[in-house]
Structure 1
Amino acid sequence: MLYIIDRLGRGGAEKLMTVTLPELRRRGVTVELMFFQQVSDSTIRDILEEQGIPLHFAPLDKIRRIDQILSIMGKIRALRPDVIHAHLQFGTIISSFARLLLRIPAVTTIHVMDRFEADAHPSLRDRVVDIGTRRILDRTIFLSPSSLAAARATTGIGRNAIVIPNGIDIAKFSTGSVAQSLRRDCGVGAEGLLLTTVAILRPLKGLEHLVAAMPQIIEASPMTSLAIVGDGPNRASLEEQIVALSLQERVHLLGFRTDIPEILAASDIFVLPTLREAFPTVILEAMASGLPVVASNVGGVPDIVDRDTGILVPTGTPKTLADAICTLLEDTSLRTTLSGNARRKAVTEFSIETQVDRLQALYSELAGRDV
């Protein structure tokens, strides 16, 4: 098996590699990873190397670099994989070339919804990806029924499209001991409650709407604090907004963290006010941690969160977001019920074992033998 991906950055697709590849390897599958662009500030490469996953760097700057593409084809030919599984745009394009030129069965996973929005303006790279997913690749994997439906409506993708949701390592997320120091750092006392969101700080995550909702939330529940975990281009604007609303004591920007399981275990409610989302794995992690979820009713989120596990709200509406959060803050019994349901749903539907079972069956079908 050869996995290929654009880069080993901090995104959800890259993070997925650190869970899926070791599980395949644990099952006796020989799996390697190729990537095309270097990222200096990510820990994903180090994690994969520690897990014993062979990594291959093959430079690719632009899809017009035919010399680089031919060099990559040579490297793939030398590796002789039974099946290629691509992720992200360059990965999808290269896997399409490998399917055409090397006759290697290939699949790709679509991780983002932007291309399938009604107002999308596809780039040249988007169009090349569309050709690959519709006409060349053996399968195109979508993460949720909503993502697949949106793709069919906008690009006309055909019967080779299937749904395989992402999975998570359930064992890493528990409802056990809580790191009280994390709660104290966020100003949460014995009677307080901690809201948490985890996201790259960029416009489409809608975090400014969550910060805007905090004055209403604090008025109703004065001991409530918010932890925003992650970093990104919107950090400075969020800092300015927090100061402008005098929320410095209640809203805390924790930056990029590697202790997400511990942070979730120390939290009471998970919030994701995203404006667009294909299938946010972080919601699965929150549910596995036994957290009720308040999230935007957008993209693949409703395929994860229902009324038994959380509350869905329209995008970009701070008051509605605050109302939903206040409902949970004020009703301990409801929080407890949703918490238990969320944990059970994560365990039964979204474990890494379930995801890899489905992937392994697909790989075996395409390879013509058990993989």
Structure 2
Amino acid sequence: MSNPRKQVLLVQHRLFQYRVPLFERMRELAEDRNIDLRVIHGQPTDAELVRKDQGHLDWADQVRNRYISLGGSDLVWQPLPQELANPDLCVILQLNRVISNYPWLLRRKFGRTKVGYWGHGANLQAEDSDSLRERWKRALSHQVDHWFAYTDATVDLLVGSGYPANQITALNNAIDTNGFRAQCDAVTVEEIADLRTELRVPDGGHLGIFCGSLYAEKRLDLLLEAGDILAERFPGFTVAVVGDGPGRAMLDAAAKPWMRTVGVKFGAEKARYFRAGSVMLNPGLVGLHILDSFCAGLPMVSTRNAKHSPEIAYLRDGENGILAGDGAEAYAEAVARLLADGEFRQRLAAQARADGRAYTIEAMADNFMGGIDRCLAA
């Protein structure tokens, strides 16, 4: 007798472009397990639209979010299609602002639906880790059946708070690294030369790459200050800023002669920038873009005390990248060491590329579905 088909919901307040390959792979794995996997997502806010990072899935259930502004925050109510009201497992993001999460936490105590959290384990960018908001998040973090943790750093945080280790799955958060690595490998010498000409990088000049959403935690102010120091020290030094967001206006207003703001790039177009670069500049928050740097063999330089996401666990200082001290002088000095010492730069680049093979969408999907299996069976 075959096992009854289980239904699992992955609820996202909005769909990011970089998550699409993960969900496609998970759906394939779910079918092999006789699991009906559904992705439910809403639409971004006007402020989030500026980042131009939304994705599309033909088979996802798209709903219309309702946003409420309260105390400087946008609260989100995300309706659910009626036919999906009683799943076996609902995996929600660990976000205080998504108020439609709370009925799921209540229903878990009285119904048959299990609930899982997917997240960082805490707001790692919080100004005050002991604020009422953060204490509320910690209290709720134990009110779920399973945790889908971004990295081992999240696992350590949860276990340290007393959550059972056997109810946590470390996902090793990833992007489509195999795909992006292949796109990087396909970039030709001629394409690199054409891009350097397009960016007005003089012969012998180093090209630094910043890639990511443009907002305060990325330390764009530090990028500007350190860039001035590096441009003076290395003639022809140029920075390509790949990305968009609310911080772009500040960069454009600064009008630095060594900076080129090129907007959001995806796939093969983004790969051209990474292959043309000498170093990846990420003075602030490190997130998933560290895997872009690994795929391209482009050493990343960040700072120790930035408000990093869990993916900072992938960076090993002095081995596959550099964690510099705070301040423009310290950051510029760390970058300068890479630019001036080609052998050191190549050693870090090779290790970054090797380490990147451990973090793939395929492995993340396997980890995720393994956690779903354990949660459903518990």
Q: What's the TM-score once normalised by structure 2's chain length?
A: 0.79
Residue 361 of structure 2 corresponds to which residue in structure 1? 352
Determine if contact 1:5/1:88 at 8 Å carries over to the other structure: no
For residues 230-270 of structure 1, the C-alpha deviation after alignment (integer angstroms, 9 at most, x for no partner) is 22222222233x33xxx32x111112333433322232211
| Cα distance change on mapping 1:158 and 1:218 into 2, 3 Å | same
Aligned mates of 2:354, 2:104 — CA distance in 1: 36
**Number of matched residues?**
343
Unaligned runs of 5+ in 2: 1-7, 71-75
| Cα distance change on mapping 1:123 and 1:48 into 2, 3 Å | farther
Is the counterpart of residue 21 in structure 1 residue 23 in structure 2? yes
Residue 283 of structure 2 corresponds to which residue in structure 1? 273
Residue 298 of structure 2 corresponds to which residue in structure 1? 291
| Cα RMSD for the two superposed structures | 3.2
| Cα distance change on mapping 1:318 and 1:184 into 2, 3 Å | same
The CA deviation at 1:5 is 1.4
| Cα distance change on mapping 1:318 and 1:87 into 2, 3 Å | same
The CA deviation at 1:70 is 10
Alignment-mate amino acid for residue 57 of structure 1: V
| Cα distance change on mapping 1:330 and 1:113 into 2, 3 Å | farther
The CA deviation at 1:101 is 4.9
Alignment-mate amino acid for residue 171 of structure 1: G
Aligned mates of 2:261, 2:69 — CA distance in 1: 37
Is the counterpart of residue 85 in structure 1 residue 91 in structure 2? yes
Aligned mates of 1:110, 1:97 — CA distance in 2: 19
Alignment-mate amino acid for residue 143 of structure 1: Y
The CA deviation at 1:137 is 0.9
Aligned mates of 2:264, 2:30 — CA distance in 1: 33
Determine if contact 2:324/2:331 at 8 Å carries over to the other structure: yes
The CA deviation at 1:58 is 4.8
For residues 111-167 of structure 1, the C-alpha deviation after alignment (integer angstroms, 9 at most, x for no partner) is 48535757236455x555434321x211223323334445666x6655444532212
The CA deviation at 1:38 is 4.3
Aligned mates of 1:74, 1:101 — CA distance in 2: 19
Unaligned runs of 5+ in 1: 9-13
Aligned mates of 2:360, 2:375 — CA distance in 1: 23
Matches within 5 A, 1:156-305: 157=163, 159=165, 160-169=167-176, 170-173=178-181, 174-178=184-188, 179-180=191-192, 181-240=194-253, 242-243=254-255, 247-248=256-257, 250-258=258-266, 259-274=269-284, 276-277=285-286, 280-298=287-305, 299=308, 300=310, 302-305=312-315
The CA deviation at 1:352 is 1.2
Alignment-mate amino acid for residue 61 of structure 1: Y
Aligned mates of 2:84, 2:131 — CA distance in 1: 28
Is the counterpart of residue 133 in structure 1 residue 141 in structure 2? yes
Report the identity percentage.
18
3-state SS, counterpart of residue 114 of structure 1 = coil
Residue 106 of structure 1 corresponds to which residue in structure 2? 115
Aligned mates of 1:295, 1:322 — CA distance in 2: 10
Q: What's the TM-score once normalised by structure 1's chain length?
A: 0.80
3-state SS, counterpart of residue 130 of structure 1 = helix
